[in-house]
């Protein structure tokens, strides 16, 4: 399967713990996006990478959130000191460079903070 | 905030055409109309996009009004597997090109 993959698919953690999610984009896609989706809502943009550079961050991305894409390939999203409000589906998407390409989404990581 | 307005939910009989409307009255000249859908517990899936001309691919057709203030996604022969939330998104081709999702339309295909 050459689609976007995310790991883990599900994560249950206790409030206050740190969690890290991984996204592997489609090979040679140099743009990578993170979104968050809560129940009953559409996905919300969190941040965007072009190669290894993080070019845009939403104000939703508080200081407890950090994302990296160290070699311009896979990306990680870390949440420190998790809160119950962080419970959501975290979606990753990738696209080729260019003005008008669609984004390909992974299956998401569902986070539950207890 | 999303720049589009869609009905919250729609029903369609299996085998019939499903027509999903979207209003985007504030669309700018350099903004495209994109459609994605999200089947339960999966990531969103790209369907189709257009600027001002009607578009068709293997999944659907997109009809954009001449003034570009609204559009309709058409699934010509809906199947049960088309049951999903459908998102209409207005997107600029400049900058990060992030997708701004609204609430979407929950389409239910009935047997």
Query: Looking at chain A, which residue has its C-alpha nearest residue B39?
Result: A107
Average pLDDT, chain B: 93
Query: Distance between alpha carbon B93 and the CA centroid of its chain, in Å?
Result: 17
pLDDT, position B2: 60
In this prediction, what percent of chain B has a pLDDT beyond 90?
A: 82
- Region of B68 on the Ramachandran plot (φ > 0 left; ψ -120 to 50 alpha; else beta): left
Between chains, do B98 and A33 touch, taking CB under 8 Å as contact?
yes
B43, B93, B98: residue with CB nearest A45: B98
Whether B96 and chain A come into contact, CB under 8 Å, resolves to yes
pLDDT, position A96: 86
Q: In 10 A of CB A60, how many CB atoms?
A: 12
Between chains, do A100 and B49 touch, taking CB under 8 Å as contact?
yes
Is residue B95 pLDDT above 70, yes or no? no
pLDDT per residue as tens digits for the range B20-63: 999 999 998 888 999 999 998 899 999 999 999 899 999 999 99
The contacts of residue B103 (CB under 8 Å, 6+ apart) are: A41, A42, B2, B6, B8
The residue whose two tokens read 């994109």 is B34
With beta carbons under 8 A apart, name residues in chain A contacting B34: 102
With beta carbons under 8 A apart, name residues in chain B contacting A91: 43-44
B2, B87, B93: residue with CB nearest A100: B93
Best interface-test mutation with A: which of B41, B48, B97 has the largest number of A CBs within 10 A? B97
Between chains, do A43 and B2 touch, taking CB under 8 Å as contact?
no
pLDDT, position B14: 97
Q: In 10 A of CB B98, how many CB atoms?
A: 20
Between chains, do B45 and A44 touch, taking CB under 8 Å as contact?
no
The HSE-up count of residue B95 (CA atoms within 13 Å, CB side) is 10
Is residue B1 pLDDT above 60, yes or no? no
> φ and ψ at A86, to 5 degrees?
-80, -10
pLDDT one digit per residue (tens) for chain A, 114 residues: 579 999 999 999 999 999 999 999 999 899 999 999 999 899 999 999 999 999 999 988 889 999 999 988 999 999 999 999 999 999 999 998 776 688 999 999 999 999
Please state the length of chain A.
Answer: 114
pLDDT, position B93: 72
A41, A99, A108: residue with CB nearest B43: A108
Q: What is the mean pLDDT of residues B76-82?
A: 96
Between chains, do B93 and A99 touch, taking CB under 8 Å as contact?
yes
A40 against B88, higher pLDDT: B88
Between chains, do B44 and A108 touch, taking CB under 8 Å as contact?
no
């Amino acid at each position: 399967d050459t689609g976007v993959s995310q790991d883990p698919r599900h994560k249950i953690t206790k409030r206050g713990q740190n969690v890290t999610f991984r996204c592997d984009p489609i090979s040679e896609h140099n743009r990578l996006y993170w979104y968050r989706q809560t129940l009953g809502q559409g996905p919300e943009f969190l941040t965007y990478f072009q190669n290894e550079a993080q070019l845009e961050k939403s104000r939703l991305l508080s200081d407890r959130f950090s994302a990296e894409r160290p070699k311009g390939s896979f990306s990680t999203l870390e949440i420190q000191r998790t809160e119950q409000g962080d419970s959501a589906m975290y979606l990753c998407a990738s696209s080729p460079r260019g003005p008008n390409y669609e984004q390909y989404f992974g299956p998401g990581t569902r986070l539950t903070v207890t | 905030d999303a720049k589009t307005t869609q009905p919250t939910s729609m029903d369609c009989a299996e085998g019939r055409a499903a027509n999903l409307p979207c209003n985007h009255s504030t669309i700018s000249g350099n903004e495209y109309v994109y459609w994605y859908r999200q089947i339960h517990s999966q990531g969103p899936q790209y369907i189709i996009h257009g600027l001002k001309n009607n578009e068709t691919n293997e999944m659907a057709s997109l009809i954009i009004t001449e003034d570009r203030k609204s559009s309709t996604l058409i699934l010509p022969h809906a199947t049960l597997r088309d049951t999903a939330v459908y998102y209409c998104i207005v997107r600029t081709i400049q900058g990060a090109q992030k997708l701004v999702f609204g609430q979407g339309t929950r389409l239910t295909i009935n047997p």
